[in-house]
Amino acid sequence: MNEDTVTINVKDRKNKNQTKKVTLKGVEFIRRFLMHVLPKGFVKIRHYGLLANRNKKTKLELSRELKGSPTYKANFEGLGTEEILSIVIGRDINLCLSWGKGHLKPTYSLFIGASP
C-alpha cells in the first residue's frame, strides 16, 4: 500500500486458482471492500452444507450416525411448566415457603390460556 494504490493477492479461478497480485486505486479498493458490508438490518447467513436448512434434518442425522455421535434429546422434553421450574430452581415450587409443608394450588389465572 502507498498513498494512491493498494496491492492485494487474488485467486484467478479461471486459471487453475493461481494467486496473482492486483494493484487498485485506494478508492476502488474501498468500493470493492464495501460491497461485502451488509446494509443495516440484514443478517449474513453463515450456515451451509450440513447445517443448511434444507439439509439439516437428513444430512445431520446421517453424519451423526456415521460419526457415532449420540443423538440429541432435549432435557425438558415432555415436562410441564411446573416440573421444569422445579428442576431449574431445585425445589418444589408448590411447597409453601413459610411453613415448608402443604402444597399451594393455583385458583385463577390473570391471562386467558396462561399456564398455572
Of all residues in the chain, the percent with pLDDT exceeding 90 is 24
Amino acid letter, residue 19:
T
What are the contacts of 25-34 at 24+ separation with CB within 8 A? none
Q: For residue 87, which phi and psi values (nearest 5 degrees)?
A: -70, -45
Domain ranges of the chain: 5-34, 41-72, 79-105
How far apart CA 59 and CA 48 sit, in angstroms, is 12
How far apart CA 76 and CA 108 sit, in angstroms, is 25
pTM reported for the whole predicted model: 0.38
Instruction: Express each pLDDT in 16-59 by its tens digit.
Output: 899 999 999 999 999 999 988 988 888 877 777 777 777 778 88
The radius of gyration of the chain's CA atoms, rounded to the nearest angstrom, is 29
